[in-house]
Every structure is written in structure tokens, then in C-alpha cells.
Amino acid sequence: MGIITIAILAWLGYRAMYGRAAMPDAQGVSAPKQRLDNVQKAANRIEDQQQKSAEEALEKSQGD
């Protein structure tokens, strides 16, 4: 009985970790890859905004 319980718990643990592995969508891109791409795009957008703000602040300080 104990071995069956351990086997079931192991299977449930495996399924929780790997059973819901991301399946590629219609374009062949998995959900984690898509999330990573979205995060990278957001990071690039934030960097661009910060760079623009820094350049504007520098122009204002030099303009006085």
C-alpha cells in the first residue's frame, strides 16, 4: 500500500512539474518562449524610454 501511495505521489509531482509543459501554438512558439520574448521587448522599450528621458534632461541642463 505504501509503495502505491509513493508511486501516485511521484506521478502527481511529475505531472505538476512536467505534465503541463507548454505546447507550441499554431506558429510553433511555446508559451514560455513567447513570455520571454514579451519580457525582452518590454525591457527594450523601458530602456529606450529611459534613454530618451536622460537625453531630454541633458538637453535641458545644457540649454540653461
Closest CA to 37 of 49, 25, 50, 55: 25
The answer on pLDDT for 27 being more than 70 is no
pLDDT for 49 equals: 94
Query: What's the rounded Cα separation, in Å, for the pair 49 and 57?
Result: 12
Query: Taking a C-beta distance cutoff of 8 angstroms, is the pair 24, 30 a contact?
Result: yes
Listed in sequence order, the DSSP H helices in 1-64 are: 2-14, 31-63
Instruction: Kindly report the pTM of this predicted structure.
Output: 0.51
> What percent of the chain has a predicted confidence (pLDDT) above 70?
81
